[in-house]
Amino acid sequence: MRTKFFLSTTFVASAAVIATPALGQTCSDLGIDPSCCANVCAINSACCDFLWDTDCDAILAKVGCICTDVIDIKGTSALVDTTAATRDISLAGICDPGPYGDDVIHNTVIYRWTAPATGVFVLSTCNIVNYDSRLAVMTGCDPTTTIACNDDVIGTCANFSSKLSFSADAGATYYFLVGGYAEADVGTGTLSIEPFQVELTLQGAHQYTVAAGGNDHWYAKYSVGPGATWEQLKAKAEELGGTLACANTVDENRMIGSIHIATGSGARVAFGLYQDLTDKNYFEPDGGWKWVDGGALAYESWAANEPNDFNTIEHYGQFNAYYFGEFWNDNSNAAAWTNVLMEFTKPQAGFTAPSNDEPAGATPIELGVAATVSFVGATTSTQALACKDAMHYDRWYTFTPPSTRSYDLNACSNGFTAAVEILTSTGELVGCSGGECTTSFVLTGGTTYVVRIGSAEGDRAGAPTVIFTPTPEIVSLDAISVNFVGGTYFDGGDGGRCNETATNPAGAGEWGTLNWSNLVGASSAASDGYAAGGNGNASTNLKDGYGVGTGASVTFAVNNPWRIFSFPASDTDRMRRGYLDSNTLSQINVTVNNVPYKRYSVVVYFGADGPDRAGSVLANGSAEVFFKTDALPGSIFNPLVQATATSAATAVRSSFAVISGVTGPTCTISLKENGPNIGFNGFQIIEEASACPADLDGDGAVSASDLSALLGSWGSAGGDIDGDGTTSASDLSALLGAWGACE
């Protein structure tokens, strides 16, 4: 077993590492690091001028100098062997090597290096050691002088090896700590020190064609190795024959954003926006901003409260893209840039179209298996459009249904709706999506169809998820079904990008139905406004399962709606994606007015973007049904599970509840939050067959009020009990025979 000692920010040096001095030996004679000698001799000059003694040992321990047994690096590399190392050095509160584990460099070996020139250098064990390494750079022999550290470079350096960059001055001495992630992490290999070079890995490139409304320029997104500054990325783009990407128009901004999303969002993405501090219009925070291609800032897309010149050093553009929009931020030259967007007038090496860019390379799609389709790099095929929808940057697939029936093709996600055509193998049109997220097609079993998928918008090269599923065979019920769409941002706005709503059969099991009302926004008033603008439906005259208006309306108001960022594969999952967020509310109340049914069941759908959040639901003062929210692993929805618990203690993970036997023309549905941020996804009000047909007023008893209603409807259908379509003597007889409480 190895014996270990530990060094924190208060250091204790082992006297065993200092050789016993001979008569007349000084600090430098003993080979102690010069910076350590300087620290010791500043306290006792005799340790350097005359004789090293036990007092000098004590001072060395007191100042906490750790540069004992250092290894000098001559050249650009050194061998690494930490198998016998026992020294742990803590960087807690000084430098964080990464998000995992502690902040300790375990089993450390220390190297000394003198910078040959002024500049940025890269210290690395990346792929050249055989264990989980950690690195740090100090300017002296005290960990408080640490200027850089690293644990892992995920995706680039295997075995959790390490790499970092730092600025050095010519002739200055630096100390490298080379160790491991944990006590067990030791090994061998090589340590390299090289001048910094910008490292780029292509993630995707796309041509914004003139035919699609663009400029024929190529836009590419690269991942960036650690240490690159914005200025270095600008120089690298120019070295490659391009520039950092510029967004001179709203359309160009959307194109750049779609490439950004489709190739992975990234953490900090540099692009061609900068602040010219010499410009006559310069002022902080938003004066003097320009494009590197010389274009004026005629169009702006700053994120909320940006630019803000945080710490007075943010003069460079950072691009943020989300499914709800493309926004800019200001950041510093030396920010931890992880990606960069570049713009070229000619394609570069590696700019290739996908293999299924044309029909000859069509890729099979399997039933029920989701495929993410990125249009980045795809070209527009020369085949004539069979549908009226525009189609840019298309890709080609095949689908062979196992049997003859109707199939749903879902081609909408990530805020993006794909245009779709289905053709026979000879090119005859079977059908097209017509802008819908989910489209149904009747297909012949065993026949291979050609599927063409593209962007309906020339300035979008998004990445929808495409999936074929059998069309649910649901007989529509006499039901009012409402889906709270949520919103792509706090105001509930949908941006007109993709109404991901429940348009086909949706709902749980036997309660599934057609014709859902899709309400966008945080309140019924907001929903009506969005509906007037073409997003979703109004909160009034809610339709039944057959698409007929019922005259019912719904009112609600919460602080904000929400959407789970996911790739729904069915209308039921799409209905579950958006919700009214309980955010700071202990209870959400949704009121349905003018319910046309005497007796009905209420199905309530609920969820959250995290599991095990406790809540309950009730309708018109019914008993509460308790639940815990279900998990959503990998943005895929779990199967619907009905909640039946009568207490919080017995609640399990579930996603909907059914409350039966509800009566009254007004129905108030309440969702109570007993955990943070629970979502009200939607509801259904489904007519129940009356257990007591003579109970015309639905109060649970046959009484004088029902007799009055029957007599007032004589000769019409209003008091019909026996089902012959009119109110007559037989109905009066049936009513009198049922007099009293309904059983």
Which of 324, 344, 364 represents a domain boundary (last residue)?
344
With beta carbons less than 8 A apart as the criterion, state whether 617 and 684 touch.
no
Same domain flag for 312 and 165: no
With beta carbons less than 8 A apart as the criterion, state whether 146 and 76 touch.
no
Does a structural domain hold residue 248?
yes
CATH number, domain of 223, equals 3.10.100.10
> What pLDDT is attached to residue 601?
93
> What pLDDT is attached to residue 536?
80
With beta carbons less than 8 A apart as the criterion, state whether 406 and 440 touch.
yes
Burial class (CB in 10 A: 0-12, 13-18, 19+), 490: middle
Residue range(s) defining the domain that contains residue 539: 479-687
Same domain flag for 145 and 278: no
Same domain flag for 140 and 274: no
Nearest-angstrom CA–CA distance, 300 and 532: 28
Does a structural domain hold residue 187?
yes
Same domain flag for 432 and 522: no
Q: How many residues in total does the chain contain? A: 743
Question: How does pLDDT run across 439-488, given as a tens digit for each residue?
Answer: 889 999 999 999 999 998 999 998 888 888 887 666 667 899 999 988 64
Q: How far is the CA of 443 from the CAs of 404, 410, 446, 504, in angstroms?
A: 6, 15, 9, 18
Same domain flag for 635 and 663: yes
Phi first, then psi, for residue 36 (nearest 5°) are: -70, -45
CATH number, domain of 105, equals 2.60.120.380
Instruction: Name the E strands within 82-142.
Output: 87-90, 104-114, 119-124, 133-138
Give the CA radius of gyration of the chain.
Answer: 35
Same domain flag for 101 and 126: yes
Range scoring the smallest mean pLDDT among 5-9, 244-248, 486-490: 5-9
Does a structural domain hold residue 349?
no
Of 352, 97, 82, the closest CA to residue 205 belongs to 352
Nearest-angstrom CA–CA distance, 265 and 288: 28
Same domain flag for 27 and 130: no
Question: How does pLDDT run across 417-430, given as a tens digit for each residue?
Answer: 789 999 999 999 99
Same domain flag for 551 and 586: yes
Which of 22, 43, 63 represents a domain boundary (last residue)?
63
Of 227, 329, 322, the closest CA to residue 270 belongs to 329
Does a structural domain hold residue 358?
no
Same domain flag for 15 and 146: no
Nearest-angstrom CA–CA distance, 258 and 205: 11
Same domain flag for 519 and 641: yes
Does a structural domain hold residue 355?
no
Does a structural domain hold residue 369?
no
pLDDT tier at 21, thresholds 50, 70, 90: very low
Which of 174, 195, 216 represents a domain boundary (last residue)?
195
Provide the 3-class DSSP secondary structure of residue 670. strand
Kindly tell me the sign of the dihedral angle through the C-alpha atoms of 532, 537, 538, 543: positive
> What pLDDT is attached to residue 10?
29
In the chain, the percentage of residues whose pLDDT exceeds 70 is: 91
Same domain flag for 655 and 737: no
pLDDT tier at 489, thresholds 50, 70, 90: very low
Does a structural domain hold residue 227?
yes
Kindly tell me the sign of the dihedral angle through the C-alpha atoms of 248, 250, 252, 253: positive
In total, how many domains does the chain have? 6
Does a structural domain hold residue 153?
yes
pLDDT above 60 (res 494):
no
Q: What is the pTM of this model?
A: 0.62
With beta carbons less than 8 A apart as the criterion, state whether 221 and 348 touch.
no
Q: How far is the CA of 537 from the CAs of 61, 481, 503, 521, 604, in angstroms?
A: 76, 12, 11, 11, 19
Same domain flag for 167 and 253: no
